[in-house]
Amino acid sequence: MNSIIDRYIDSHQQPFCALADHIWDLAELKFAEHQSCETHARTLEQAGFRVQRNLGGLPTAMLAEYGSGEPIIALLGEYDALPGLSQVAGLPQAKPVEHQGAGHGCGHNLLGCASLLAAIAVKQAMVEGKLEGTLRYYGCPAEEGGSGKTFLVRAGAFDGVDAALTWHPDSFNGVSTFKNLANLQAYFRFQGRASHAAISPHLGRSALDAVELMNVGSNYLREHMPADTRLHYAITNSGGHSPSIVQHHAEVLYLLRGSEMNGVLDLFERVKNVAAGAALMTETQMSVQFDRATSSVLGNFTLENLLQECLEEVGGAQPDENDELQARRFRETFSDEDITSAYTDLGLVRDDSVLHQGVVPLAKQRTSIFASSDVGDVSRVVPTAQLYMACYAIGTAFHSWQMVAQGKSNFAHKGMLQTAKVLANAAYTLLTDRERVAAARQEFSQLIIKTPYRCPLPEDIMPPINHQKSAQPSDLKQ
């Protein structure tokens, strides 16, 4: 491992932990992360990076760059929060700071800051070692239900990058070799005719009936869907609160998932047929608004092996007695199933640990998981790898108040700092080892020939730029 990188991170722990806590406090939602993005941008400018704001036309996306020439190595960061997950930090019981406020229920306050710190540490090593090459940090908005990276990919923001590295806060330490799902999200809107529900119901045409019939039809469709596909929905507009009025407008948001985008698009056509049938039955008018889409991750064993090497050398965060005590307090709020499934999801045998301290062995074959991430689209244009680092008590569910509550803990900070070391040392290795970069690109080229990439976002679809801190109920996790 590079001693310059390790010394820099060890000597700059306090300001970057404070930065992560500041992002936690801001808790800004998708496409509205204005302060979080600007904080990252200013920090990188002060560290000597060239910063481009408004990357890809997204006000809360940014690119910071240091050096010149090849290779071009990228570190990816995120900083968006989730709606409705406001929670008092450190408290092992549900208590929001702000009613229906936002909260960092997926650890993106840690995610962005670890990548940021890694980038600055590598820059310091490049300066002292007079190292050539280009280092980039991407501030990526709206991973939570916004497909921010997919919009950036479509805009060509990753063109020319040789390799990209990222991570995610977790309850275990390891390198991701999972194959996740592509997804697509769209609004289905129905327009009917209002009438008095008692005096003249025969004159009304209920849009809410159409939404309900569509959902019933989609649920019957589940039996005939491929096994690796998923279908979720939320009624985002029920048409009003008065039962004495026939609802003349209603809306439902559908999220579809599958192993590859082609399968998702096929399922989308079938769901649209169900919606058309519901409109026909209720004599309403149906329209579809495409919202967003992301591709599944295309893994790269060359880069994943590099991350595993660095992770095993750096190691996971080591808890002290206070860390263990706090983790046990949160563990009491988990079900036994929560804890067991955390192990089985990784193929591990459950033990009595409350905080993970080891390193999960690197899987030799890819297994499927049913979540999605816009990292998938980056991985379709650039060789990409991800690790995960323990920052929370084992059994902590993603998108839960417990994850928010642990987001400013001492152990979360430790996990973030260890991650920065892993990412920085891996990025430095790629800047100095052209053969490893070439091997990663060769592996990528062989895979992309088998699954040619086409951005799942139509050209006329623009991101729903959000200038407010508030969120609509349809702000969903991917």
| 332 assigned to some structural domain | yes
| 52 assigned to some structural domain | yes
Q: What is the 3-state secondary structure (H, E, C) of 407-468?
A: CCCHHHHHHHHHHHHHHHHHHHHHHHCHHHHHHHHHHHHHHHHHCCCCCCCCCCCCCCCCCC
Smallest Cα–Cα separation from 25: which of 78, 84, 86, 83? Answer: 86
Give backbone dihedrals phi and psi of 222, rounded to 5 degrees, phi first.
-55, -35
Say yes or no: 26 and 140 in one domain.
yes
Say yes or no: 170 and 254 in one domain.
no
Say yes or no: 111 and 85 in one domain.
yes
Output the pLDDT for position 477: 35
Residue with tokens 């990412």: 423
Lookup: tokens for 313: 């050398």
Total domains in the fold of the chain:
2
DSSP character at residue 148: H
CATH at residue 125: 3.40.630.10
Output the pLDDT for position 466: 63
Does residue 288 contact residue 186 with C-beta atoms inside 8 Å? Answer: yes
The reply to whether omega before 71 is within 30° of 0 (cis) is yes
The pTM of this model reads 0.93
| 470 assigned to some structural domain | no
The DSSP string of 30-72 is TT--HHHHHHHHHHHHHTT-EEEESGGG-TT-EEEEEEESS-E
| 436 assigned to some structural domain | yes
Lookup: tokens for 238: 């029920």
Q: Give me the half-sphere count of Cα atoms (radius 13 Å) on the Cβ side of residue 273.
A: 8
Smallest Cα–Cα separation from 292: which of 97, 99, 36, 58? Answer: 58
For β-strands 163-170 and 72-78, DSSP reports them as parallel
| 460 assigned to some structural domain | no
The torsion of the CA quartet 340, 341, 345, 348, rounded to 10 degrees, works out to: 0
Say yes or no: 74 and 12 in one domain.
yes
Say yes or no: 325 and 265 in one domain.
no
User: Which of 237, 264, 293 is at the close of a domain?
Assistant: 293
Say yes or no: 210 and 173 in one domain.
no
Does residue 31 contact residue 146 with C-beta atoms inside 8 Å? Answer: yes
User: What distance in Å separates the CA atoms of residue 392 and residue 400, rounded to the nearest whole number?
Assistant: 12
Series of mean pLDDT values for 10-residue runs along the chain (478 residues): 95 98 98 98 98 97 98 98 98 97 98 98 97 98 96 97 98 95 96 97 97 98 94 96 96 96 95 98 97 95 98 98 98 96 94 96 89 94 98 97 98 98 98 98 95 90 66 34
Say yes or no: 15 and 113 in one domain.
yes
Say yes or no: 251 and 340 in one domain.
no
Does residue 256 contact residue 231 with C-beta atoms inside 8 Å? Answer: yes
Say yes or no: 340 and 229 in one domain.
no
Output the pLDDT for position 61: 98
| 323 assigned to some structural domain | yes
| 337 assigned to some structural domain | yes
Say yes or no: 211 and 242 in one domain.
yes
Domain span at residue 312 reads 3-180+296-450
Say yes or no: 319 and 445 in one domain.
yes
Say yes or no: 127 and 262 in one domain.
no
